[in-house]
Amino acid sequence: MNEAMVRDKAAVLSSAEFFERGRDRLRFDVPAALLDPDLIPQSGDAGTDRMLEIIAREQPIRPAAVLIPVVDHPEPTVLLTQRSAHLSSHAGQIAFPGGKIDVTDASPLDAALREAEEEVGLARGFVDPIGYLDVYGTAFGFRILPTLARVRPGFTLKINQGEVDDAFEVPLSFLMNPANHQLHSKEFRGMERIYYAMPFAERYIWGATAGILRLLYERIYLS
């Protein structure tokens, strides 16, 4: 959905190279677009950008933070969750650990780490935060700030069934291969907007989760 797409190619990085690039390219400066309704997160898709402009005028910003937990196995994986089927919004969808930023959170990073502990029991001692990606906007007014993190293997998860039905790992190499980045479209008030999907086995990864994974690919794998 931007110029980077014409240069897509499968890139192979070792675990060490992936995390090194992350540390070189990401920082913990909080983007102003997380809170400023006049700053619209750019998706690279004209329809989506127009949708985000409309949403910003019609409803308050809902700041949120998610953790992108990359588990440092010899073949790295990304830890994802499946939201509980009974939730009032996004029920059953594949997601990163995360949620809204509370007033008691010291930072978006703190919110992401707190939510990961609450949702799946991922202890902070196993998490090495690396930096923020760009803000990702959604049709529900959320401004999501993703934090990339290296996760040391050996953790034990405890699923909070009130929020999450399951937690599972997907190979990073699959998610970072542009051949697996499907483009789909849907209508918003007569406008076509594009979104990503990355189906994996029986899991359908799409929407904000796939869009954030695409952001990660563009920041780490494309120059």
pLDDT tens by residue, 40-50: 999 989 999 99
Whole-angstrom distance, CA of residue 108 vs CA of residue 105: 7
Tokens of 115: 């939510």
pLDDT tens, 174-194? 999 999 999 999 988 888 999
pLDDT reported for residue 12: 77
Question: Distance between CA atoms of 144 and 9, rounded to whole angstroms?
Answer: 27
Separation of alpha carbons 117 and 105, rounded Å: 14
> Beta-strand (E) ranges in 72-190?
77-83, 94-95, 98-100, 127-132, 136-137, 142-151, 164-171, 182-188
Domain range annotation of the chain: 20-221
For 11-54, what is each residue's pLDDT tens digit? 678 999 999 999 999 999 999 999 999 999 999 899 999 999 99
Rounded to the nearest 10°, the torsion over CA 100, 111, 70, 147 is 80
The pLDDT-based confidence of 92 (bands split at 50, 70, 90) is low
The answer to whether residues 200 and 106 touch, using CB atoms and an 8 Å cutoff, is no
Going by C-alpha positions, the residue among 132, 136, 198, 148 that lies closest to residue 170 is 198
Q: In this structure, what token pair is assigned to residue 203?
A: 């899991």
Using CA atoms, how far residue 69 sits from 138, 162, 169, in Å, is 21, 21, 10
Asked whether residue 7 carries a pLDDT value surpassing 70, the answer given is no
Averaged pLDDT of the chain = 91
Q: Are 219 and 133 in contact (CB under 8 A)?
A: yes
Task: Say which CATH superfamily domain 20-221 falls into.
Answer: Nucleoside Triphosphate Pyrophosphohydrolase (3.90.79.10)
- Global pTM reads 0.93
Q: What percent of the chain has pLDDT over 90?
A: 84
Give first-to-last CA distance, the chain, whole Å: 16
Is beta strand 191-197 parallel, antiparallel or unpaired with respect to 182-188? antiparallel
Least confident range of 85-94, 194-203, 211-220: 85-94
pLDDT value for 223: 65
What does the pLDDT look like over 115-163, one tens digit per residue?
999 999 999 999 999 999 999 999 999 999 999 999 999 999 999 988 8
Q: Is residue 56 within 8 Å of 210, Cβ to Cβ?
A: no
Mean pLDDT for 67-80 is 97
